[in-house]
Amino acid sequence: MTAFLFCCTGYPEAAWLAALRQHLPPEVEVRTMQAMGDPADIAYVAAWMPPDGLLASLPNLKVIFSIASGVGHILKDPSVPAHVPLVRMSDPMQWNLMAEFAVLGVLTFHRFLPFYLDNQKDGRWEVRWPLDTPTRPVGVLGLGGSGRAVAARLTDLGFTVHGWSRRKHEIAGITTWAGPDGLRAMLPRCAYVVCVLPLTDETRGLMDRAFFAALPDGAHLINIGRGEHIVQADLLAALDSGRLAGAFLDVFDQEPLPPDHPYWRHPKIIVTPHVAGELLPRSAMKVMADNVRRHMAGAPLPNLYDRALQY
């Protein structure tokens, strides 16, 4: 018996289980935490916030699939077996959703939406003339699948796009930069910065006082990567000083964001509840099922988590 365990805390199971059963090979039985059966049958797990110790208790586990592009929610459990391949979610539909949300964030500021919403509250009719889009460059931090989708969508809208990553990439239509020196060279050119980076030891706290000081006055930040990329006190200081004109934040150090957090009431911050790249069952489960078929056929798995690189 080969079984696939769906273990995703907080997810409405019905749609996900239906999509899994539709796409998985018929010889793979889908199970849930409530009806797991013999742990020795479990070869594959789809995981989001699995209970500590669960993965280590499955003696024949072959692959762990993350229901997210990141894997921190799984590796918070130190007992996760290091020899079992861990596959990050890499779903083109999710990339598209991330790109949509990045565009939403950039255009919110580019077309003065906060200004007009404030005017609506006061019944005030006041026009700001549009900015010249090609002269308002966007910097995209992170050039994986999501970052490339973001860069492509913004380029299609007429923005001049710069992309930064740990290693140099060549991507048609955008100017790319790499490493600490590349970041320092890129930031002064960016009216908007969109972060879609993975969280690693190198990227944690990347957006600090020096980062914000390198941006031109009046720049805007859109963060759909991870909350830990930002040094909170430094962001607030940059906004209060006018160095940054606004921030559109979808991810946070602590989620849900506590009701008393200063982000909620800051006049230059827009908060959304980590919704930029939600997964859709019909697409995400097909990606996962295709990877199960690859593994069963002995083919290499894509998007394996590299414990040395931390993504």
pLDDT band at 87 (very low <50, low <70, confident <90, very high): very high
Rounded Cα gap, residues 105 and 222, in angstroms: 6
Beta bridge partner(s), residue 165? 178
Rounded Cα gap, residues 37 and 142, in angstroms: 41
The pLDDT value given to residue 19: 93
Digit-coded pLDDT (tens) for 137-164: 999 999 999 999 999 999 999 999 999 9
Q: Is the pLDDT of residue 245 over 90?
A: yes
Q: Is 110 a catalytic residue?
A: no
Q: Is the pLDDT of residue 211 over 80?
A: yes
Rounded Cα gap, residues 29 and 27, in angstroms: 6
Please, how many CA atoms are within 13 Å of residue 102, restricted to the half-sphere of its CB?
34
Q: Is 128 a catalytic residue?
A: no
Number of Cβ within a 10 Å radius of residue 253: 12
Strand order in the sheet with 2-8: 28-32, 2-8, 42-48, 63-66, 86-87
pTM: 0.91
Q: Is the pLDDT of residue 10 over 90?
A: no
Catalytic residue chosen out of the listed positions 189, 274, 282, 295: 274
Catalytic residue chosen out of the listed positions 31, 136, 226, 229: 226
Name the CA dihedral angle for 146, 155, 162, 243, rounded to a multiple of 10 degrees.
-100
Strand order in the sheet with 192-195: 175-178, 161-165, 138-141, 192-195, 219-223, 244-249, 269-271
